[in-house]
């Protein structure tokens, strides 16, 4: 029977339970959101004892399915006040799948803030112990310490100093197959882990066996169809493996949707210097790896290893949104500096979207100058890293910096920074930002695919027509995909190649012996969105907050001279399903 | 015809309009809230161009009515996101009454933040001019500058450095009859004025005539009845004039409702050292004035002049809530230090409730130690006063400090700090905090009167029974009183002495020739509350946010060992009227 591990940090007790039968068809986001919605009071303080931090591998985690290496973390977010799911690659999802652990639920909170703890999970059971060695250390040092103390092959889930300091930009990091970091990035979940006084969790898969499949031949056949689709699609098979997600820099610049200088223009003069093409050339010239995976079994390989001028490792998982935010939104025209920032952010354990979007507002507030990448590095290391008063302000994220400095042009929805696609010139993604249960989150319903990349058809990015429906369909599909452990990027072939999505359903059925249909999968996505929405409504986040900040309605953006002009009543129809 | 002055700060234009006929029966809060509700988009950014800052004298302003010296300021609050009314004494209300100006509405916002402006209003018209001399100066220096440049007899409405720096704890200050400061304290309205780039407004009543009365004999007769009631009631006639509002320190300590050490106890060991009785003795011993008014025509005289050890002026308008917050909530056992803090807060232009409540959370966050009044003074002067990063965090108020430092025990409702009466042991005021349209605000419906002081009957402070009805009735009455220009403290006699409230209605009728009844006044209060509530709902602040923070439900408070346990469904019945 699948297990659920509950660790109560109030009394340091552990319960290993059989997973309820009702959770059989749930994994990843579907499960984290189900637990949070059922067990966390929507109006609780996110950093208080009543919040819960839930980790759940996807339904396909641990199998040989292509790109099934994602795992979800969920809680009430201290950044947004909403329910939150954030997923990451790395090795833990696979290991939890093999351990037959459906969820780890961290509850309660020690009364004293004197001590920290680690949690170690293996086939033998669960150990909770006081932790001292890594307290105050950042992520790379934690990984080293864990490898030395418990072995190099352990899965690790950890927070850096930002999470310890309960910063709202803090994330939760996890070890990837090569000992680097992947992140549950958004929503300040690192602060939730910090509020539980858990410094790290290790997962040990020793003694486990491969995940059983009810029909292994059918699984293998479906997986072949699926991985072929991933390789055949131009985005997942060519664009992403070659240039990584930064392939989007030039594309978004071209269509005028690359928010620049804290969202005051849609194009950036020095786009060439921060483009995926430039990154590719740089990586190749320095002996890095342009094509690289975040987890075992990844077919798309959108990650990379980016070395510095001396050929020394600088960063990996160097994403478009991070490069955009520092490169265009903060006007830093030096990719090496941005890569160094990415490395430092990984080490501190801060969201590499929220953090640079915050810096755009900090620049507008006059805390530093637009384009000053060296000062960003100093602020990351010396202020955020040391939790000085200024570091704590910056560590509070985009909305908090705006409030602290009285800035009115603050790109957030529900307190979370808006990513790399201007909603005025890519209106479909604006609908997603406004309506998703997660606060501004492009991954919740990536309408850029259909607005800009012509994946899954074509909807004019500058027109409001059809955007609500587009975003709704994508958000439903995403909620389902996020529940399987599959990487969201499978959506590109899934939208264009007819046999791709049915193959994922076939894999689920072959894994569990179920008879799920495509309708069931869509139904799961709808169920997840609705329960997340109900949580938010009960938390006091109503339809009036399903909106973009006012400045998008007041300020037209170059080059199309467009404002955000979607009617709120039309937006509200999003929930008609 | 009564006039409305509109100053558009986008193009620096002025329009002097006839007041709409529909505004005839509106003044003070009824008028500021009517204008804000009608003209400010509820979802606008409070510091953006679409917010409006409205000043309105009360319906009785400028007359000889006792205690009619209050005037309202209104806007969408940057602290709470709600509609906001804040009122103050001083000389401007009276002057605007004589000038027959019903409202000053400051609209728009200069595109550039290079310049500041002053606005000067007189019988001759309105002048808007660039201001340089007082930019960066604090309130006492502004008053000096204005007196030197424009005469000592002018009414002044100004912001200190905190308002210029758009801090959420900033208030708007106004000159009192003796050249000291009174404050539109709550909700960060100083930041709204700062966002309009208005440093100060002067009012010149030269050439005006006494306010005309339709029936001056009837007015005089009613005013005599009214002022007699004010003098006859033990609270307004004896307690407040003698000890000021600080008379409440020992009373609240006795009943266990004096929040201490950031709301972790209901009693404070050193209550004697911060009591009204101690303050009275100190004032008398040093040649100060225990009994003093904030505006001409004040009968109650709850203010005082508090001198330092050398007999030099230190502060006035030294209120219970400020003394409580520093004295008990921050554990500062030195009244002189608290008085000095009060003086500095007046000078900087920060809310003397929000600021010390924030310091309680800052102490819990470890920014400074509980009880360290000297460090508070330093932080006020050197950090908040100089808008350092730490100063900006503190200047962001209670909720922002909590978010920045990850504190879960944060006493706020809708982002505004909870004042001096613990809702666990004075449950009626808890209903007011949770339900008022203003964010936590004791003055919105002062249930302490009936829960603790036995004014207007007696409702057991520890029982939930009857509290919603009590708070509702008081909130309705308060909304009406806040519209007249009368001081809220007239509520004490109004609740106990039968002829008091009818006398105020008689004064209104004698002033305007109307035939208002008590029912009309109650109707006005209801109308004001409802339109404020509608604004908040449209701003996305729904019934789920009509609640106290979670810690009041989790932590019992000494000495009664009581939690907050009012059912949310019962609270929601507040709006059934």
Q: What is the pLDDT of residue A327?
A: 98
From B42's Cα to the closest Cα of chain A, the distance in A is: 10
Residues A74 and A87: their CA atoms lie apart, in Å, by 9
User: Across the interface, do B393 and A389 touch by the CB < 8 Å criterion?
Assistant: yes
Q: Which one of B41, B400, B408 has the shortest CB-CB distance to A400?
A: B400
Of the CA atoms within 13 Å of residue B398, those in its CB half-sphere come to: 33
What is the number of domains present in chain B? Answer: 2
pLDDT of residue A294: 84
What is the per-residue pLDDT across B326-335, written as a single tens digit (0 to 9) for each?
999 999 999 9
**Confidence grade of residue B297 (pLDDT, cut at 50, 70, 90):** confident
A367 contacts in chain B (CB < 8 Å):
389
Chain position carrying tokens 């019903």? B102
Set of chain A residues whose Cβ sits within 8 Å of the Cβ of B400: 400, 403-404
Closest Cα of chain A to B550: distance in Å?
A: 6
pLDDT, residue B15, reads: 98
pLDDT at A536 exceeding the cut of 90 = yes
- Chain A neighbors of B537, CB-CB under 8 A: 544
Tokens for A396, please give them: 């509070």
CB contact under 8 A, B388 and A389: yes
Is the same domain home to B298 and B157?
A: no
Q: What is the CATH number of the domain that holds B175?
A: 3.60.9.10
Q: Is residue B315 part of a domain?
A: yes
| pLDDT value of residue B286 | 94
Task: Give the mean model confidence (pLDDT) for residues A236-265.
Answer: 96
B554–A400 CB contact, under 8 Å: no
Chain B positions in Cβ-Cβ contact with residue A387 (cut-off 8 Å):
none
- Is A551 within 8 Å of B166 when comparing Cβ atoms? no
Residue A192 has a CB neighbour count (10 Å cut-off) of 30
| Residue linked to tokens 């009626």 | B428
Cross-chain residue pair B544–A42, CB shorter than 8 Å: yes
pLDDT digits (tens, 9 = 90+) for A53-72: 999 999 999 999 999 999 99
Same domain? For B20 and B107 the reply is: yes
- For an interface test with B, the pick among A197, A389, A394 (most B C-beta atoms closer than 10 Å) comes out as A389
Average predicted confidence (pLDDT) for chain A: 97
Contacts A564 to B, Cβ<8 Å? none
Confidence of residue B178 (pLDDT cuts 50, 70, 90): confident
Please answer whether residues B401 and B393 qualify as being in contact, where contact means their C-beta atoms are separated by less than 8 angstroms.
yes
Per DSSP, the three-state class of A158 is strand
Residue B9 lies in a domain: yes
**Element at A159 (helix H, strand E):** none
Could you tell me if residue A115 is inside a domain? yes
- Select from A203, A225, A253 the last residue of a domain: A203
Q: Please indicate, yes or no, whether residues B266 and B388 belong to a single structural domain of this protein.
A: yes
Q: Check whether residue B273 and residue B159 sit in a common domain.
A: no
Q: Hunting for tokens 């999802």 — which residue is that?
A: A93
**pLDDT tens-digit profile of A371-380?**
999 999 999 9
Query: Strand B101-107 and strand B3-8: pairing?
Result: parallel
Cα B352 from chain centroid (whole Å): 10
Q: Is B277 exposed, middle or buried (0-12, 13-18, 19+ CB in 10 A)?
A: middle
| Res B292: pLDDT | 87
**What's the distance, Cα to Cα, between the start and end of chain A in Å?**
34
State the ipTM, two decimals.
0.95
User: A185 near A348, Cβ under 8 Å?
Assistant: no
pLDDT class of B278 with cuts at 50, 70, 90 = very high
pLDDT at A381: 98
| B554 with A48: Cβ contact below 8 A | yes
pLDDT tens for each residue of A407-442: 999 999 999 999 999 999 999 999 999 999 999 999
The pLDDT score that the predictor gives to residue B294 is 84
Nearest by CB to residue B396, choosing from A47, A403, A543, is A403
Q: Which helix (H) or strand (E) element contains residue A338?
A: helix A335-348
Nearest Cα of chain B lies from the Cα of A535 at a distance, in angstroms, of 11
Are A404 and B406 within 8 A, CB to CB? no
> What are the DSSP calls for B22-77, one per residue?
GGTT--HHHHHHHHHHHHS-TTS-TTSTT--EEEEE-TTTTSS-TT---EEEEEE-
Chain B residue whose CA is closest to A166:
B406
CB pairs under 8 A between A and B: 114
- Whether B23 and B129 map to the same domain: the answer is yes
Contact A393 B388 (CB under 8 A): no
B497 within domain boundaries: no
Quickly state the pLDDT bin for B245 (edges 50, 70, 90): very high
As given in the structure block, the two tokens for residue A15 are 């319960």
pLDDT at position B1 is 85
pLDDT at B377: 98
On whether both B289 and B196 belong to a single domain, the answer is no
* B390, closest residue in chain A (CA to CA): A389
Q: Do A408 and B551 touch (CB under 8 A)?
A: no
Continuous segment of H or E residues that includes residue A478: helix A467-481
Q: How many CB atoms lie within 10 A of CB B207?
A: 10
Res A325 pLDDT > 90: yes
Which of B45, B389, B541 is facing A389, going by the closest CB pair? B389
Is residue B224 one of the residues assigned to a domain?
A: no
Rounded Cα–Cα distance for residues B464 and B459 (Å)? 9
Inter-chain CB proximity A393 and B392 less than 8 Å = yes
Decide if B406 and A195 are in contact by the 8 Å CB cutoff: yes
Residue A395's closest chain B neighbor by CA?
Answer: B404
Q: Which residue of A has its CA nearest to B396?
A: A404
Which residues of A fall within a CB distance of 8 Å from B368? none
Which chain B residue's Cα is nearest to A401? B393
In the sheet with B181-184, reading across from the earlier edge strand, the strands are B125-131, B116-122, B198-203, B155-158, B172-175, B181-184
A4, A81, A443, A532 from A527: Cα distances, Å: 22, 21, 18, 9
Nearest to B368, CA basis, from B387, B347, B391, B346: B391
Share of chain A above pLDDT 70, in %: 100
Q: In chain B, what residues touch A368 (CB-CB under 8 Å)?
A: none
Least confident of A79-83, A389-393, B316-320: B316-320
Average pLDDT of the residues in A533-547: 96
Give chain B positions within 8 Å (CB) of A170: none
pLDDT digits (tens, 9 = 90+) for B41-85: 999 999 999 999 999 999 999 999 999 999 999 999 999 999 999
In B, which residues are within 8 Å of A45 by CB distance?
Answer: 408, 410, 549-551
> Which of A408, A413, A537, A542 is best to mutate for the B interface (most B CBs within 10 A)?
A408
- Residue A153 CB neighbour total at 10 angstroms: 13
Asked if residue B277 and residue B177 are part of one domain, the reply reads no
Q: CA nearest A47 in B: which residue?
A: B408
Compute the mean pLDDT over every residue in chain B, rounded to the nearest whole number: 97
Which of A41, A403, A547 shows the shortest C-beta gap to B400?
A403
Whether A413 is covered by a domain: the verdict is no
Question: What's the whole-number mean pLDDT along residues B147-162?
Answer: 97
Partners of residue A403 in chain B, C-beta under 8 Å: 78, 168, 396, 400
Same domain, B295 and B384: yes
CATH number of the domain at A441, please.
1.10.599.10
Measured in angstroms, the CA of B62 and the nearest CA of chain A are apart by 36
Q: How far apart are CA B90 and CA A27, in angstroms?
A: 64
Residue B189 within any structural domain of the chain:
yes
pLDDT digits (tens, 9 = 90+) for B364-391: 999 999 999 999 999 999 999 999 999 9
Whether residue A54 is contained in a domain is answered as yes
What does the pLDDT read at residue A411?
98
Q: Are residues B173 and B284 in the same domain?
A: no
Query: What values do phi and psi take at A306, rounded to 5?
Result: -105, 115
Binning pLDDT at 50, 70 and 90, where does residue A171 land?
A: very high
Residue B114 pLDDT class (50, 70, 90 cuts)? confident
Closest to A453 measured CA to CA, from A278, A266, A252: A252
Residues B191 and B284 placed together within one structural domain of the fold: no
pLDDT at B155 over 90: yes
Chain B's closest residue to A415, CA to CA, is B403
Contact state of A48 with B165 under an 8 Å Cβ cutoff:
no
CA distance B314 to B316: 7
Average pLDDT for B425-443:
98
Distance CA A376, CA A391 (A): 11
Range of the domain at B159: 3-203
Rounded Cα gap, residues B418 and B257, in angstroms: 13
Q: Do A47 and B408 touch (CB under 8 A)?
A: yes
Residue in B closest to A541 by C-alpha: B540
Q: What is the pLDDT of residue A387?
A: 98
Show which of A148, A179, A203 is a domain's final residue: A203
> Does residue A292 register a pLDDT over 90?
no
A389: chain B residues, CB-CB within 8 Å: 367, 388-390, 393
**Optimal mutation site among B389, B391, B550, interface A, most CBs of chain A within 10 A:** B389
**Each residue's pLDDT tens digit, B510-543:** 999 999 999 999 999 999 999 999 999 999 999 9
Please say which residue of A159, A174, A203 terminates a domain.
Answer: A203
Tokens of B247: 């008379």
Residues B382 and B267 in one domain: yes
Query: The CATH number of the domain where B390 resides is what?
Result: 1.10.569.10
Cβ distance A400 to B405 less than 8 Å, yes or no, reads no
User: Are B406 and A78 an interchain contact pair (Cβ–Cβ within 8 Å)?
Assistant: yes
Mutation for A interface: B408, B412, B414, B546, most A CBs within 10 A: B408
């Amino acid at each position: 029977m699948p297990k659920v591990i509950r660790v109560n940090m109030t009394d340091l007790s552990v319960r290993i339970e059989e997973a309820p039968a009702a959770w059989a068809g749930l994994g990843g986001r579907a499960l984290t959101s189900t637990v949070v919605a059922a067990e966390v009071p929507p109006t609780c303080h996110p950093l208080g004892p009543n919040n819960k931090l839930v980790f759940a591998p996807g339904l396909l985690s641990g199998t040989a399915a292509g790109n099934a290496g994602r795992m979800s973390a969920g809680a009430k977010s201290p950044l947004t006040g909403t329910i939150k799911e954030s997923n990451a690659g790395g090795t833990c999802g696979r290991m939890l799948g093999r351990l037959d652990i459906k969820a780890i639920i961290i509850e309660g909170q020690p009364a004293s803030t004197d001590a920290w703890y680690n949690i170690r999970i293996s086939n033998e059971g669960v150990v909770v112990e006081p932790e001292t060695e890594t307290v105050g250390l950042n992520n790379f040092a934690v990984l080293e310490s864990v490898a030395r103390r418990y072995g190099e092959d352990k899965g690790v889930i950890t927070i850096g100093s930002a999470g310890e300091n309960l910063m709202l930009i803090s994330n939760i990091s996890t070890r990837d197959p090569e000992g680097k970091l992947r992140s549950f990035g958004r929503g300040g979940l690192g602060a939730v882990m910090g509020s539980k006084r858990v410094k790290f969790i290790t997962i040990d898969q020793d003694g486990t066996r491969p995940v059983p499949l009810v029909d292994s031949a059918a699984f293998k056949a479906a997986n072949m169809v699926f991985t072929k689709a991933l390789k055949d699609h131009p985005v997942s098979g060519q664009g992403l493996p070659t240039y990584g997600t930064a392939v989007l820099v030039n594309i978004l610049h071209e269509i005028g949707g690359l928010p620049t200088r804290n969202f005051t223009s849609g194009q950036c003069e020095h786009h060439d210097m921060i483009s995926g093409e430039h990154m590719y050339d740089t990586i190749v010239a320095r002996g890095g790896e342009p094509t690289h995976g975040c987890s075992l079994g990844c077919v798309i390989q959108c990650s990379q290893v980016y070395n510095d001028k001396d050929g020394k490792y600088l960063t990996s998982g160097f994403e478009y949104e991070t490069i955009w935010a520092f490169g265009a939104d903060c006007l830093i025209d030096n990719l090496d500096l941005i890569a160094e920032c990415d490395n430092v952010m990984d080490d501190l354990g801060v969201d590499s979207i929220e953090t640079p979007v915050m810096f755009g507002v900090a620049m507008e507030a006059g805390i530093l100058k637009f384009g000053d990448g060296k000062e960003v590095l100093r602020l990351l290391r010396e202020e955020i890293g040391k939790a000085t008063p200024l570091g704590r302000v910056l560590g509070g994220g985009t909305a908090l910096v705006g409030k602290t400095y009285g800035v009115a042009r603050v790109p957030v929805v529900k307190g979370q920074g808006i990513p790399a696609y201007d909603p005025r010139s890519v209106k479909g993604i604006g609908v997603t930002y406004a309506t998703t249960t997660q606060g501004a989150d492009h991954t919740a319903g990536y309408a850029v695919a259909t607005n800009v990349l012509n994946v899954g058809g074509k909807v004019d990015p500058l027109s409001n027509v059809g955007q609500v429906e587009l975003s709704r369909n994508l958000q439903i599909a995403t909620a389902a995909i996020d529940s399987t452990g599959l990487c969201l990027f499978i959506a590109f072939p899934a939208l264009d190649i007819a046999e791709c999505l049915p193959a994922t359903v076939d894999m689920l059925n072959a894994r569990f012996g179920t008879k799920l249909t495509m309708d069931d999968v869509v139904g799961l996505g709808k169920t997840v969105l609705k329960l997340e929405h109900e949580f938010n409504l009960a938390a006091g986040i109503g339809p009036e907050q399903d909106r973009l900040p006012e400045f998008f309605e007041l300020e037209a953006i170059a080059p199309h001279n467009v404002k955000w002009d979607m009617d709120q009543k039309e937006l509200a129809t999003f929930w008609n399903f």
